Chain A
Amino acid sequence: DTGVSQNPRHKITKRGQNVTFRCDPISEHNRLYWYRQTLGQGPEFLTYFQNEAQLEKSRLLSDRFSAERPKGSFSTLEIQRTEQGDSAMYLCASSLDGSSTYEQYFGPGTRLTVT
Chain B
Amino acid sequence: AQSVTQPDIHITVSEGASLELRCNYSYGATPYLFWYVQSPGQGLQLLLKYFSGDTLVQGIKGFEAEFKRSQSSFNLRKPSVHWSDAAEYFCAVDSGGGADGLTFGKGTHLIIQP
Contacts and interface: CB of A to CB of B under 8 A. Distances in A.
Interface string A43-58: 1111010000001100
Given A40-B106, A42-B92, A42-B106, A108 B98 contact: no
Nearest to A107: B43
Nearest to B92: A42
Contacts of B44: 43, 91, 93, 106
A101 B102 contact: no
A48 to B, nearest CB: 6
A108 B42 CA distance: 5
Contacts, number: 65
Contacts of A40: 106-107
Interface in A54-98: 55-56, 59, 91, 93, 95, 97
B42 to A, nearest CB: 6
Contacts of B107: 40-42
A33 interface: yes
Interface footprint category on A: 20 to 34
A33 B45 CA distance: 15
A35 interface: yes
Contact of B43 (A4, A33, A44): A4
Nearest to A111: B41
A56 B99 contact: yes
B99 A43 contact: no
A35 B101 contact: yes
A102 B97 contact: yes
B46 interface: yes
B14 to A, nearest CB: 25
The 7 closest A-B pairs by CB, nearest first: A45-B101, A42-B104, A106-B44, A106-B43, A102-B98, A108-B43, A42-B90
25 contacts: A31-B98, A33-B101, A41-B106, A42-B104, A42-B105, A42-B106, A43-B44, A43-B90, A45-B102, A45-B103, A48-B98, A48-B99, A48-B101, A55-B99, A56-B99, A56-B100, A97-B98, A100-B51, A101-B49, A101-B51, A103-B46, A104-B46, A106-B43, A108-B41, A108-B43
